[in-house]
């Protein structure tokens, strides 16, 4: 009579389960990030002033692909932002407050009250300095959604 050693199923399934959980976690962390999009209609966003003197251009696509979102192309003190077919490492001042924006057909517009608020915050930040704020970053739920040029604050460029 031959005897077979019986392997406990727990010895097999425990490592398989752990390996599966690790694989799912790695895939979830590394999944390419889609650009943030505001829902159609009115939304409330946080306002951050972009310091043009401290911000610098960057190469597009730094956070694309698998695990691109885990990279820090701008270090820890700047936000990597792509908008208007350009990329930058934006050094921010804020949040300065919140404003309302309207989204329609992927176009973001700012009501007059929001435009005025942006200009007031930029003027206050520039007072007593030689700095001239020219751009603002709009953020919703800790995700950049649009860049506003203060020269034409009626519209915003969605973040790519």
pLDDT tens track for 4-61 = 667 777 777 888 888 888 887 776 665 555 556 777 788 888 888 888 777 776 766 6
What pLDDT is recorded for position 63?
Answer: 58
Does residue 99 contact residue 116 with C-beta atoms inside 8 Å?
no
Which residues fall within 8 angstroms of residue 100, CB to CB, at 6 or more apart?
Answer: 42, 43, 44, 110, 111, 113, 114
d(CA 32, CA 28): 9
Q: Which two tokens stand for residue 127?
A: 């007072």
The confidence band for 139, taking pLDDT boundaries of 50, 70 and 90, is confident
Q: How far apart are CA 101 and CA 57, in angstroms?
A: 26
Characterize 64-102 residue by residue with b for buried, 16 or more Cβ atoms within 10 angstroms of its Cβ, and e for exposed: eeeeeeeeeebeeebbbbbbeeebbbbbbbeebeebebe
Return the pLDDT at 69: 56
Which of 10-14, 23-27, 114-118, 156-160 bottoms out in mean pLDDT, i.e. has the lowest? 156-160
Tokens linked to 32: 């390419």
């Amino acid at each position: 009579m031959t005897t077979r050693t019986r392997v406990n199923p727990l010895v097999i399934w425990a490592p398989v389960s752990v390996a599966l959980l690790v694989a799912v976690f790695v895939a979830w962390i590394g999944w390419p990030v889609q650009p943030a999009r505001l829902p159609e209609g009115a939304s409330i966003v946080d306002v951050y002033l972009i310091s043009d003197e401290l911000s610098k251009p960057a190469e597009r696509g730094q956070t694309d692909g698998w695990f691109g979102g885990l990279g820090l192309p701008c270090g820890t003190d700047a936000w990597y932002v792509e908008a208007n077919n350009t990329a930058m490492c934006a050094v921010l001042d804020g949040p300065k407050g919140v404003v309302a924006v309207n989204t329609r057909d992927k176009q973001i517009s700012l009501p007059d009250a929001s435009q005025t608020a942006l200009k007031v915050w930029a003027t206050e930040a520039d007072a007593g300095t030689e700095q001239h704020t020219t751009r603002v970053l709009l953020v919703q739920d800790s995700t950049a959604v649009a860049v506003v040029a203060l020269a034409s604050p009626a519209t915003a460029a969605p973040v790519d």
